[in-house]
């Protein structure tokens, strides 16, 4: 995990804690750590693997352990706990790179989706560009990442998702009907 990805997760933690009206000093510590990580010229992952000091100022022991775990494993307990408190639609969207908690909440609200499957269905039905702040390029990126995650889930659960180029068909019958119309 690179420094930018670690900082993005720390910024997401800040946003979720702010929305929950969390401790302002804790929020400030996470935000300051994320900014300092972006300024760092060395790789935190390499330092964590070598059991060296991270070289980031103003870190307490708990935050140092959290950042070290992020650098080594790509996840941390604080982030997973905060994600667990979100609705499943927002949890699914939070795993897409470039989507933070506020945008995930806006997408889920505007698409009127509460479950992860509803987000995938409604995003595939071209309703994603109706959300403020999402244009065609970002919509393609989100749908592609959702399709990848749903394809993995479909293989695990045998769900009938079919992907044809840039189009994600939620049901296999839609795909067959589209094929007949094209022929």
Would you identify the CATH topology of the domain 3-84? DNA polymerase; domain 1 (1.10.150)
**So where are the chain's domains?**
3-84, 88-182
Query: φ, ψ for residue 162 (rounded to 5)?
Result: -125, 135
Reported confidence tier of residue 162, pLDDT bands at 50, 70, 90 = low
Bigger pLDDT: 81 vs 172: 81
Query: φ, ψ for residue 20 (rounded to 5)?
Result: -85, 5
Does CATH number 1.10.150.20 belong to domain 88-182? Answer: yes
The predicted model scores a pTM of: 0.74
- pLDDT at residue number 152: 43
Q: What's the token pair of residue 33?
A: 């750590």
Query: What mean pLDDT is predicted for residues 166-179?
Result: 53
Spell 85-109 as b/e; 16+ CB within 10 A means b: ebbebbbbbbebeebbbebbbbbbe
83-99 pLDDT, tens per residue? 889 888 888 888 888 88
102-128 pLDDT, tens per residue? 988 888 888 888 777 777 777 766 577
The yes-or-no answer to whether 3-84 and 88-182 have a common fold is: yes
12-69 pLDDT, tens per residue? 999 999 999 999 999 999 999 999 999 999 999 999 999 999 999 989 999 999 999 9
Beta-bridge mates of residue 162: 169
Bigger pLDDT: 73 vs 156: 73
- pLDDT at residue number 72: 93
């Amino acid at each position: 995990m690179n420094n930018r990805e670690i900082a993005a997760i720390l910024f997401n933690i800040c946003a979720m804690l702010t929305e929950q009206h969390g401790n302002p000093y804790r929020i400030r510590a996470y935000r300051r750590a994320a900014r300092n990580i972006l300024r760092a010229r060395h790789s935190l992952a390499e330092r964590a693997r070598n059991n060296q000091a991270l070289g980031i100022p103003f870190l307490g022991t708990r935050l140092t352990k959290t950042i070290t775990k992020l650098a080594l494993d790509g996840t941390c307990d604080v982030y997973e706990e905060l994600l667990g408190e979100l609705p499943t639609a927002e949890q699914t969207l939070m795993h897409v790179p470039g989507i933070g908690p506020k945008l995930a909440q806006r997408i889920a609200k505007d698409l009127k989706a509460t479950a992860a499957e509803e987000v995938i269905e409604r995003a595939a039905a071209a309703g994603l560009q109706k959300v403020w702040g999402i244009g065609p390029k970002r919509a393609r990126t989100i749908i592609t990442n959702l399709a990848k995650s749903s394809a993995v889930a479909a293989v695990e659960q045998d769900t009938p998702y079919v992907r044809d180029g840039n189009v994600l068909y939620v049901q296999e019958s839609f795909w067959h009907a589209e094929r007949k119309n094209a022929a």
